Amino acid sequence: MLNFIKKNKIKLLIACLFLGCVVLFGMLLKTVSIIYKLHDKLDNDKKAKITAVEKYDKEIQNEKIDKKAIKIPIITVHRTVDHESKIKYFKDDEWVNDLDELDKQLQYLYDNKWNSIDLDQFYCWYIKECEFAEKTFVFTIDDGDAEAYYNILPLLDKYKFIGTLFVIGKDVPEKTEKLNEPTRIKLGMDIIEKLRKEGSRLHFESHSYNEHRRREDSTPIVSIYSIKEMEEDFDLNKKFNFKYYAYPFGYYNRDLLSVISNRPEIKMAFGFHNYNYATRLNNTYEIDRIKVSAKTSFNDFKNWFEYAN
Ligand SMILES: [Zn+2]
């Protein structure tokens, strides 16, 4: 044995070196694979974090919010025409907003890091199943005018906000006509269905089927409706699958409150008379909103948001 070692000293040395190299190479491979696995793990962790952020965006993880919203501004605009039409046809009309002014208002909210939520999210917050951070608002548009699609939706896409258009069921045509100011054109079923399918930033809810009318003495028509007539109006709107309701002219009486709170399809209703922030103390069928009309100055608009938290 000893002789064999002596005779093959060199060969054995080479063999040992070779074996050493193999072992070293193996260790190196192992290290590389550990590094790769670690990298993969980090990568997966990162991916999981991104998914969590997306989830946070969609569902909001309550425990991660430092300052939770305790009151939420729900702003309401009406028909909103381009600046030229506003000056030309609607100069003194409080209920026709100027698109340039709305652009400025939404730009302010965007620049100041306000986020909008839709009515399902608002409802979730109201029943305390969701929390949202301060600087959360809801954007609503009354009366179902086609300008919501032609003029306001591009702004919602620009600032990544969500808006809800309250439409008057009876006034919804099958097909939406092109804008032709100052003619009043209502948004049609064709666009409503298309946007619902696309998951658009513009959502649609109820402004009654046919109660957006006043009597000769200017009181809202619903003030003389029987309970049966009120129920019929809701029945006629069932085909739209609305879940939320905005009272025409912000008007409701005891009978309407009792009817609406017993309609299984309507989860919540919004007022338009007691302009204020919405809170969880509001009655489910008397949620406060804030009027943003053509007469609302930019300063007044900003004040609503500066004092919101
Ligand atoms: Zn209205």
Ligand 1 centroid to residue 185 C-alpha, Å = 14
Q: Which of 169, 207, 156, 180 is nearest to 81 (CA)?
A: 180
For position 176, what pLDDT does the model report? 98
Tokens 């209920």 found at: 95
Helix (H, G, I), strand (E, B) or coil at 247: coil
> In this structure, are residues 117 and 161 in contact, taking their beta carbons and an 8 Å threshold?
no
Ligand 1 centroid to residue 187 C-alpha, Å = 14
Ligand 1 centroid to residue 307 C-alpha, Å = 27
pLDDT tens-digit series, residues 242-282: 999 999 999 999 999 999 999 999 999 999 988 999 999 99
Mean pLDDT on 72-98: 98
Ligand 1 centroid to residue 141 C-alpha, Å = 9
Ligand 1 centroid to residue 44 C-alpha, Å = 50
Ligand 1 centroid to residue 158 C-alpha, Å = 26
The rounded distance, in Å, linking the Cα atoms of 82 and 236 is 33
The domain in which residue 85 lies consists of: 72-306
31, part of any domain: no
Ligand 1 centroid to residue 76 C-alpha, Å = 10
7, part of any domain: no
Burial 91-126 (b: 16+ CB within 10 A, else e): eebeebbbbebbbebbeebbeeebbbbbbebbbbbb
Q: In this predicted structure, which of 5-14, 37-46, 127-136, 150-159 has the lowest mean pLDDT?
A: 37-46
Partners of residue 220 on adjacent β-strands = 214
Ligand 1 centroid to residue 60 C-alpha, Å = 32
Ligand 1 centroid to residue 246 C-alpha, Å = 8
5, part of any domain: no
For position 3, what pLDDT does the model report? 63
Q: Are strands 278-279 and 71-72 parallel, antiparallel or unpaired?
A: antiparallel
Ligand 1 centroid to residue 101 C-alpha, Å = 20
What letter does residue 96 receive in the DSSP assignment? E
Ligand 1 centroid to residue 148 C-alpha, Å = 14
Ligand 1 centroid to residue 40 C-alpha, Å = 56
pLDDT tens-digit series, residues 175-231: 999 999 999 999 999 999 999 999 999 999 999 999 999 999 999 999 999 999 999
Q: With bands split at pLDDT 50, 70 and 90, how would you rate the model's confidence at 57?
A: low
Ligand 1 centroid to residue 272 C-alpha, Å = 9
35, part of any domain: no
Ligand 1 centroid to residue 7 C-alpha, Å = 107
Domain containing residue 288: CATH number: 3.20.20.370
Q: What percent of the chain has pLDDT over 70?
A: 80
Tally of domains within the chain: 1
State the sign of the Cα–Cα–Cα–Cα dihedral 229, 230, 233, 238: negative
Tokens 């200017």 found at: 218
User: DSSP alpha helices (H): ranges in the chain?
Assistant: 2-7, 9-59, 83-89, 99-111, 119-126, 147, 153-159, 189-198, 227-236, 254-261, 298-306
Please report the beta strands in 201-303, taking only residues with DSSP state E, as ranges in sequence order. 202-206, 244-246, 268-270, 278-279, 290-291
For position 82, what pLDDT does the model report? 98
Ligand 1 centroid to residue 127 C-alpha, Å = 26
300, part of any domain: yes
For residue 256, what are the contacts with CB-CB under 8 A and spacing of at least 6? 222, 225, 230, 247
134, part of any domain: yes
For position 162, what pLDDT does the model report? 98
> In this structure, are residues 90 and 286 in contact, taking their beta carbons and an 8 Å threshold?
no
pLDDT tens-digit series, residues 97-146: 999 999 999 999 999 999 999 999 999 999 999 999 999 999 999 999 99
Report, in this order, helix, strand and coil percent for the chain, each rounded to 5: 50, 15, 35
Mean pLDDT on 78-99: 98
For position 239, what pLDDT does the model report? 95
> In this structure, are residues 172 and 192 in contact, taking their beta carbons and an 8 Å threshold?
yes
